[in-house]
Structure 1
């Protein structure tokens, strides 16, 4: 590890896996999860595209969520697997910046998209008569475009700044290229940049989370006062599904990116990295499919499977 110092322009990615038999087993498990996530999210995108019954604003937003999850896991896992199998752990400064940019952009954009999905459920349940106007196709396109644009501009600026920081310490990164992990290797005081990261993270994670919580709080209040038991059950199922996805997404991100540097632990960061980079993209399509009769119905019509889950 000592040879990776200021004389090298590359970083070394230590990865999430130990270099032994346990690491090989975990790599096989991660590859399996990667395949499941890729197939699951690709299937969701395909279903929503080909089934006319899923051509609604909610599923239009869901297809973008699947696309973001697919891009997120594809940014980290293939490089991790290649490094482990080849033994070549090095990555250039530019390559590290590119990986960090795509990961942060998809992750940050997903946070804003989840806010849009919460607003969709709020309008559908609390203001159903206004739903066609408030959640028109044009509004959905603006929400999705805004999520991608704001996420890419913000994280492009952060990544470009990180690429211009002088690094003069050991260039070993514990898991994958991420701006907080890169800052630990800088040979200059980065408190100003860390403060900007904190503000940015609050905007992309904390404030949307508070907005989502307020929206679903209002939704649950409206659902509780519904007269129809069937409608109340369906609404609770939809809301609980969305809340599960929100918790899986926000909890590890908030804990990772809003902690002060002196409270960070490499071992905890590795565990959290596995959760929000690998597990969450696999869990999202499972959560939305197994708890959604409309999606299960689309799977039956398109693929001819899972009909027993609709009972």
Structure 2
């Protein structure tokens, strides 16, 4: 390929790129406009859903409890996550400007990974909250204080920043020779595939760090639900068991969506990565899951539905 705006400094065995070309939602040009229109509607729906949850929890005093406190921050992270990837991809599809500079790509990757990691820690905190509420209801109020809630959110944010900083630095110390990024945003697996240097060491270190962090959160979440299930099964009344399970069902669905969609992409080596499968999986974990979370928590929660009715109908 001739030198152009995507070529940068020479390395020992290749010419590094200074910008990438995002392939978009589809390899078929005719599908780009249709895909952009669909994802624009989904993005608007995601914005409205997450902003509604944040506003309802903030304004309704009945929702000033730890469970909804964590939900508000989860919605904020989901809002940031979709806003990091979709607006740029939609602009590229509709305006035909697929070029993204190397610094902009690094910034997009940093924010997206930060949002994903922070959500992982928040989901773990929410599982711990539900576990305390069911397993130790008598001491729940004195244990899950406002200070502890803020501390858990703070740990999630700081951990997300550290995790994202590591992965961004780990990826962008590689050299890239091909500017064509077969994705609609800058994500880890497609970037690793573009490396013209051996990415094995970087990939192995990233896999170990990511696996340790994610598996630690998953194990803590699973242990929390083991205690929850064991406690609920000891409840004598059917109504009591149903009430206990109903407080966890929305969070459990979120856990399944989060780990189920993300693991298919991030827990496999780059040489087994398929661009088509990667785009399809990314649609689920970067677009649909953050969009569905407000629906999941609203449809299965009477207090949230009542707060949203008051918010939009201005009545009981």
Q: TM-score range by the shorter chain?
A: over 0.9
Cα distance between partner residues in 2 of 1:255 and 1:136: 36
Match of 1:266 among 261, 264, 275: 275
Cα distance between partner residues in 1 of 2:131 and 2:297: 18
The yes-or-no answer on 1:17 pairing with 2:26 is yes
- The secondary structure found in structure 2 opposite 1:183 is helix
Match of 2:125 among 111, 116, 119: 116
Match of 1:55 among 52, 64, 68: 64
Cα distance between partner residues in 1 of 2:174 and 2:221: 35
The yes-or-no answer on 1:237 pairing with 2:261 is no
Cα distance between partner residues in 2 of 1:306 and 1:108: 38
| Kept in 2: contact 1:13–1:174 (CA 8 A) | yes
1:19 deviates by 4.8
| Kept in 1: contact 2:22–2:100 (CA 8 A) | yes
Task: Return closer, same or farther for 1:193/1:240 CA change in 2, 3 Å cut-off.
Answer: same
Match of 2:147 among 138, 141, 146: 138
1:266-285 deviations in Å (ceiling 9; x for gaps): 11111000001110111000
Cα distance between partner residues in 2 of 1:271 and 1:87: 21
1:199 deviates by 1.7
Cα distance between partner residues in 1 of 2:155 and 2:52: 25
| Kept in 2: contact 1:111–1:204 (CA 8 A) | no
Cα distance between partner residues in 2 of 1:7 and 1:52: 55
* Structure 1 stretches of at least 4 aligned residues deviating more than 6 Å after TM superposition: none
Cα distance between partner residues in 2 of 1:130 and 1:199: 37
Match of 1:69 among 66, 75, 78: 78
Task: Report the more deviating stretch, 117-126 or 261-270.
Answer: 261-270
Cα distance between partner residues in 1 of 2:129 and 2:268: 31
Cα distance between partner residues in 2 of 1:121 and 1:73: 27
1:238 deviates by 2.1
Cα distance between partner residues in 1 of 2:27 and 2:314: 38
Match of 2:259 among 246, 250, 254: 250
| Kept in 1: contact 2:21–2:179 (CA 8 A) | no
Instruction: Report what 1:185 is aligned to.
Output: 194
The yes-or-no answer on 1:96 pairing with 2:99 is no
Give TM-score, length-normalised by structure 2.
0.92
The yes-or-no answer on 1:30 pairing with 2:36 is no
| Kept in 2: contact 1:93–1:163 (CA 8 A) | no
1:118-139 deviations in Å (ceiling 9; x for gaps): 0000000010111112211111
1:112 deviates by 0.8
Cα distance between partner residues in 2 of 1:63 and 1:169: 41
Match of 2:114 among 94, 105, 109: 105
1:229 deviates by 2.8
Gaps of 5+ in 2: 8-14
Task: Report the more deviating stretch, 71-80 or 251-260.
Answer: 251-260
Q: How many residues matched?
A: 307
Cα distance between partner residues in 2 of 1:300 and 1:23: 37
Task: Return closer, same or farther for 1:254/1:306 CA change in 2, 3 Å cut-off.
Answer: farther
| Kept in 2: contact 1:10–1:171 (CA 8 A) | no
Alignment RMSD (CA, Å): 1.9
Residues 168-207 of structure 1: pairs in structure 2 closer than 5 A? 168-207=177-216
Gaps of 5+ in 1: none
